[in-house]
Amino acid sequence: MIRRLFLGLAAAAAFAAAAAVLVFALAFALFALVEPYVGRAGAAAILAGVTALSIGLAAISIGSLAKARPRKVSSSDTVGGMIERAIAFVREKPILAASAAIGAGFMAVRNPSYLGSVIRAFVEGKPPPPKQRGK
């Protein structure tokens, strides 16, 4: 699972680098296209305007995708309901959940008593396993 996370992060970084190169190449091509007609200063102004327009359109489209969705309210406040909410959170935000898990792992490595208290919290309330005699 960690390997898949790192491979996903590497793929995202490669995609971002390729997108940056593409944007730079398109900007250079636009500058070279309009420079003979309007000069260097005019080409720079046109490039800045096109860049501002594209950033504005991207912000509007991303903003429309980020509208708040109505939240489903569950009537159960039991432990099962909490587990279902935790699973739903992991499905909705896997990167944040993985980051929290990695952070918890680092905390457990630095201070193992944290790990013990977390394990005790999950095991608490369950009857202890029966002791086996003779072994």
Return the higher-pLDDT residue of 105 and 32. Answer: 32
Integer Cα distance of 79 and 85 in angstroms: 10
- Give the per-residue pLDDT at 13: 87
48-68, pLDDT tens digit by residue? 999 889 888 888 888 887 776
74-133, pLDDT tens digit by residue? 554 455 566 677 777 777 877 777 776 777 666 666 666 666 665 666 556 555 556 666
Diameter over CA atoms, the chain: 95
Integer Cα distance of 68 and 39 in angstroms: 46
Tell me, what DSSP letter sits at residue 78?
Answer: S
Q: Extract long-range pairs of 4-13: CB within 8 Å, 24+ residues apart.
A: 5/98
First to last CA, the chain: 37
